[in-house]
Structure 1
Amino acid sequence: MLPLQQGVLDPQQYVPPLISAITTVVLFIVVFIVIYLLGKYFITQVVEAGLTRRDFDDALVGLAVSTTIVITAVVAVALAATIAGFGVVLAAFATLAGALALAVGFAAQDLIANFVAGVFIIQDEPFKTGDWVEWNGNGGVVREIQLRVTKLDTFDNQLVTVPNSDLANAAVINNVANDQRRVSVGFGIGYDDDIEQARDAITEEGTDIEGVLEDPEPSAPVTELGDSAVVLQGRVWIDPTASSYGAIRSQFVEAVKERFDAEDIDMPYPNTELSGGIKLTNASDITQATSD
């Protein structure tokens, strides 16, 4: 009977380890919940209030709050694991997380670059929704600025989606950022035409266009003596937020052309004048061929 008694399992021997394991798990859960909830409440409040007070964009404030919550959760896991005695597990988790972060970083370099560029674009505001911008020979009206891409509408009503890193690294021209913008058009007149007459025609027609500002007043200085024409650059100023640049320019060109036609002011096209003479050799052969 003794060997049989020795072979019987005693359930009591598993009670202490089981209680210890349950206690550790419960301690981990309690500590995690307390740290996470307290950290989430207080830290996010501080971050949100600080960024809002400094007039950061709402998108950046929301991003910062979301990032803070994630960081708070990671810190809460680390502290709870340390207090509960999960040191070995925590070390393995840290190693795995580091390797994973490195791999993701290499795989998502462009994504991260666009994301960082989006943060700077939203914060620095080189342009905003509704602005007409140009970059690297492209242009369009900004429809939406996201953290990764910016969406624009071209003047042909095409949607263009541009990675934010492309815009952040390019020289972006904002055509409507200022209160005033100059519309410049070159008008060529003949060398025999009266410059003052042409200048008066240009400035008067520019003044009559609705949307052209009185100050600065329209002007038309001579900017070039071309091969075939004297070029006067007609200049008028507009408020780009109130008037369309393209529409004003089109009206300006058409009005000046009609005024020049009415006053017989020449608008010469490029031409080339040849001078000199032509020397013929063996003219007798040409005469004989013609008579034949």
Structure 2
Amino acid sequence: MDPVALQVGIDVGAVFADAEVYLRQLVNFVVAFLLVYIVGRLAFVPLVKRALSARGFDEGVLGLADSVAAGIVLFAAVAVAFSVAVPGASLTAFAALGGALALAIGFAAQDLIGNFVAGVFILKDEPFRVGDWIEWNDTAGRVEEIDLRVSRVRTFDNEQITVPNGELANNAVKNPVAYDTLRQKFVFGIGYDDDIDQATDILVEEAEAHGEILDDPATSVRLTELGDSAVGLQSRFWIDDPDRSDFVRVRSEYVQAVKERFDAEGIDMPYVHRQLTGEVEVVEELAEP
């Protein structure tokens, strides 16, 4: 046999041998990855959710646990697949994956870890829960999901806002539905010549007549303003099991009832009006030639 042909034959055989090894390793990697990933998704993730659900955790915690468990399954699948594909390089594979993970975390640490920690504290301290109506930074809406990094809020205009957990954890958040009752306040203006006691009685009576305004705590009225054209009476009333749509409707019905009662009783609800007075002076000058 020609030496050149023999040399070529040896090289081709080596190439095919290497290709067979690489192909076997690729198949082992894919099979091991799919096996671990599928088993993890079908068994481990539901098991974690069932365990937390049995302990009474809400939907926010369950959603966070689902994300964390899915990440663990993915990492484990890749690590096991490397170990099966290249048995002698298992430690190297783990080290490479750990280094890559540490590098990724380092780049995203300021944002990702900060929001993750904020999410953990939100779930632990429970300033609000899934389904609560919250207000922050001149924005309001109902919490739909508390995830690993962000929370999703549906506004009352039916828009979805994705909010980093750090923003909610580091700013003042008002939760009007945190308790069983909610107090509302509204200032009614009456004229200076009107009877304050009569107007106060009307405010209390109309609150008592409304079926969704509580008798206990009772409605109270305070004189809070002496304006330019009106005396301000602030009515403070309570509603039960507060919800935004309910309290807006109840307040609207109450204010309308008071306005109609004031009109019937002859109590004025003045508004500010201004009259501009003065004169205009016209100056005529002759143009010089």
Q: Place the TM-score, normalised by the shorter chain, in its bin.
A: 0.5 to 0.7
Partner SS for 1:188: strand
1:152–1:160 Cα contact (<8 Å) kept? yes
> In structure 2, do the counterparts of structure 1 residues 250 and 114 end up closer, same or farther at CA, with 3 Å as the change threshold?
same
Question: Is the 1:132–1:142 Cα contact (8 Å) retained in structure 2?
Answer: yes
Q: CA deviation at 1:216?
A: 0.7
Equivalent residues of 1:44, 1:68 under 8 A apart: no
Shift of 1:191: 2.6
**Which segment drifts farther, 197-206 or 127-136?**
127-136
More displaced 10-residue stretch of structure 1: 260-269 or 71-80: 71-80
**Residue 65 of structure 1 pairs with residue 66 of structure 2:** no
**Contact 1:227-1:270 within 8 A present in 2 as well:** yes
CA contact (8 A) 2:82 2:93 kept: no
Aligned to 1:281: none
How far apart in 2 are the matches of 1:53 and 1:141? Answer: 26
The residue type equivalent to 1:248 in the other structure is V
Aligned-partner residue type, residue 70 of structure 2: S
Gaps of 5+ in 1: 279-292
The match for 1:159 is 159
Aligned to 2:263: 261
Structure 1 residues 247 and 104, CA, compared in 2 at 3 Å: closer, same or farther? Answer: same
Task: Give the alignment of 1:212-291 within 5 angstroms.
Answer: 212-239=213-240, 240-241=242-243, 244-270=246-272
**Does the 8 A contact of 2:142 with 2:154 survive in 1?**
yes
Given that 1:181 and 1:238 are in contact with CA atoms closer than 8 Å, whether structure 2 keeps it comes out as: yes
Q: Do the aligned residues in 2 keep the contact of 1:132 with 1:176 (CA within 8 Å)?
A: yes
Instruction: Compute the TM-score of the two structures, normalised by the length of structure 1.
Output: 0.65
1:184–1:236 contact (8 Å) kept in structure 2: yes
> Structure 2: which 5+ runs fail to align?
279-289
Closer, same or farther: CA 114–67 of 1 in aligned 2, 3 Å = same
Aligned letter for 2:205?
E
With 48-57 and 144-153 compared, the bigger mean Cα shift is at 48-57
Quickly say closer, same or farther: Cα 1:167–1:75, change in 2 above 3 A.
same
Q: 1:142 maps to what in 2?
A: 143
Say which one has the larger Rg: 1
SS of 1:163's equivalent in the other structure is strand
- Alignment pair present for 1:172 and 2:167: no
* Aligned mates of 1:151, 1:121 — CA distance in 2: 14
Q: CA deviation at 1:91?
A: 4.2
Task: Give the CA deviation at 1:150.
Answer: 0.3
Contact 1:114–1:149 under 8 Å retained in 2: no
Equivalent residue of 1:141, what SS?
strand
* CA displacement at 1:252 relative to structure 2: 1.5
Deviations 1:146-175 (A, max 9, x none): 443403032xx3313222333333322122
Paired residue type of 2:175:
N
Percent identity, aligned pairs only, is 46
Which residue number in structure 1 is paired with residue 88 of structure 2? 85
- Residues of 2 paired with 1:98 and 1:112: CA distance? 17
**Mapped partners of 1:45, 1:187: distance in 2:** 56
Alignment RMSD, CA only? 4.5
Equivalent-residue separation in structure 2 for 1:99 and 1:146 (angstroms): 24
Query: Kindly tell me: are residues 218 and 243 of structure 1, through their superposed partners in 2, closer, same or farther at Cα, counting changes over 3 Å?
Result: farther
Per the TM alignment, residue 114 of structure 1 is displaced from its structure 2 partner at its CA by: 4.7
**Offset at 1:128?**
3.3
Deviations 1:23-58 (CA, angstroms, capped at 9, x unpaired) = xx99xx79x97xx79x97999899668755654432
Shift of the 215–127 alpha-carbon distance from structure 1 to 2, 3 Å rule, reads same
* Counterpart amino acid of residue 128 in structure 2: F
The number of equivalent residue pairs is 253
**Equivalent-residue separation in structure 2 for 1:158 and 1:108 (angstroms):** 33
Structure 2 counterpart of 1:170, which letter?
Answer: N
Residues 180-223 of structure 1 deviation map (CA, whole Å, 9 limit, x = unaligned): 01121001222332221111010101111121111111111112
Change (3 A) 1:127 1:160: same
Say which SS state the counterpart of residue 193 (structure 1) adopts: coil
Q: 1:81-100 deviations in whole A, cap 9, x for unaligned?
A: 99x4337xx54873576257
Whole-Å separation in 1 of the counterparts to 2:89 and 2:160: 51
